């Protein structure tokens, strides 16, 4: 199984799915994604030092110290007949769990094609997309592909885990035999919207998922995305931002459309960027989730801060998610047209139209993979 703490029963058993399947099947291997089996580790930290004791079940870490660790080795499949993928997603292409699942599917496909033994079957335990069917963004261009983005996928894809993996199976000609356990009744009832297990340390609430498709871009800048606070990605800023500057406030509010408000505040991260430093910034509060476009907001915010604090704002340099040939902001934005907006070559009106077109195209492209 590829799984973590996000797969948990809320019935009388109150157990993790992998514990349940250990009793029902001969569970041999757990494939562990980024952050650890219980999301103990912070961002971009290797899980190689984690140790667990679940009897004879071996654990294969899919997020180690090197890029090679992201891909399961061939010998990991030798004693397996079935691999289950049972892990939650947050609806954004940057989120690495389904990228790990994609890499695993590719490895299984290669193994099946090369092996003279019985092919490994795949079962996907599906779950809802916590931010629904809404789409944001443009397809990731091939030159920007990395562990935080598979080529062709939008910033906010609007698919469930099984649907996105079916898309990968077809688009990349993996030819895998896939069975799907569909969304359970628990997840489709509105009254269960309070049911939330943080899939990773910096997605503490469902609200975080709504801002993440845009706010993750802040990782490519010297602006704090709120790691080290209790509301990452909802709270953001930097020591050089003056929250009492009326001109800045009016510029940031220029494109408000009633879907969100910005609450000016000071905050002090306990770790990560600007650890133990006082930052000026904002909390973004979503007023209308159906209307709110996280990517457009963050692009506009970055461009505004870049122009307003031109001597202090920076894009981060250095390796990011195992790539060092391109800066993080390019890997995250993943589209030369949108990067041209950040560099001032085109205006926001053109970006709006461009995204409208790309989102309409994706809506048609994803249609064959919709299960619900």
C-alpha–C-alpha distance, residues 222 and 284, integer Å: 18
Number of domains in the chain: 2
| 152 and 231 co-located in one domain | no
| 130 and 224 co-located in one domain | no
Give domain status of residue 330, yes or no. yes
Parent domain of 230 = 206-334
pLDDT tens digits along 59-78: 999 998 889 999 999 999 99
pLDDT tens digits along 127-167: 999 999 999 999 999 999 999 999 999 999 999 999 999 99
Give domain status of residue 354, yes or no. no
| 184 and 68 co-located in one domain | yes
Alpha helices in the chain (DSSP H): 17-24, 96-114, 161-171, 185-188, 206-215, 246-252, 294-308, 328-333, 336-342, 348-365
| 222 and 194 co-located in one domain | no
| 223 and 107 co-located in one domain | no
| 62 and 148 co-located in one domain | yes
| 192 and 227 co-located in one domain | no
| 31 and 135 co-located in one domain | yes
C-alpha–C-alpha distance, residues 339 and 299, integer Å: 9
CATH at 268: 3.90.1150.140
CATH at 115: 3.40.50.12170
| 239 and 312 co-located in one domain | yes
pLDDT of residue 191: 46
Percent of the chain exceeding pLDDT 70 equals: 94
Please identify every stretch of the chain with a pLDDT value under 70, giving residue numbers as ranges: 12-13, 44-48, 117, 184-194
| 115 and 258 co-located in one domain | no
| 47 and 125 co-located in one domain | yes
């Amino acid at each position: 199984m590829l799984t973590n703490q996000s797969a948990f029963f809320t019935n009388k058993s109150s157990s993790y799915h992998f514990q349940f399947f250990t009793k029902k099947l001969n569970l041999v291997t757990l494939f562990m994604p980024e952050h650890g089996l219980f999301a103990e580790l912070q961002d971009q930290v290797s899980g190689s030092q984690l140790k667990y004791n679940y009897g004879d079940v071996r654990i294969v870490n899919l997020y180690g110290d090197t890029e090679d660790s992201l891909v399961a080795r061939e010998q990991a499949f030798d004693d397996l007949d079935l691999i289950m993928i049972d892990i939650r997603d947050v609806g954004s292409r940057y989120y690495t769990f389904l990228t790990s699942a994609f890499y695993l599917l590719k490895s299984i496909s290669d193994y099946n094609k090369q092996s003279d033994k019985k092919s490994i079957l795949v079962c996907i335990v599906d779950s809802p997309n916590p931010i629904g069917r809404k789409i944001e963004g443009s397809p990731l261009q091939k030159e920007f592909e990395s562990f935080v983005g598979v080529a062709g996928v939008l910033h906010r894809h609007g698919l469930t885990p099984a649907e996105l993996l079916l898309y990968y199976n077809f688009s990349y000609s993996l030819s895998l035999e896939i069975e799907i356990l569909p969304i359970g009744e628990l997840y489709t009832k509105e009254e269960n919207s309070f049911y939330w297990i943080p899939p990773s340390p910096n997605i503490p609430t469902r609200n975080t998922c709504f801002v993440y498709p845009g706010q993750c871009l802040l990782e490519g800048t010297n602006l704090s995305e709120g790691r080290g606070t209790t509301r990452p990605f909802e709270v953001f800023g930097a020591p050089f931002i003056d929250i009492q500057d009326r001109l800045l406030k009016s510029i940031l509010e220029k494109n408000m459309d009633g879907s969100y408000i910005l609450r000016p505040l000071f905050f002090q991260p306990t770790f990560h960027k600007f650890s133990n430093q006082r930052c000026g910034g904002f909390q973004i509060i979503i007023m209308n989730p159906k209307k709110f476009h996280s990517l457009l907001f963050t692009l506009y915010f970055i461009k505004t801060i870049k122009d307003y604090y031109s001597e202090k704002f920076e894009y981060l340099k250095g390796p990011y998610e195992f790539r060092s040939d391109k800066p993080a902001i390019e890997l995250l934005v993943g589209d030369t047209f949108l990067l041209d907006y950040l560099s001032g070559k085109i205006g926001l009106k053109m970006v709006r139209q461009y995204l409208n077109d790309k989102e309409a195209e994706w809506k048609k492209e994803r249609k064959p993979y919709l299960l619900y």
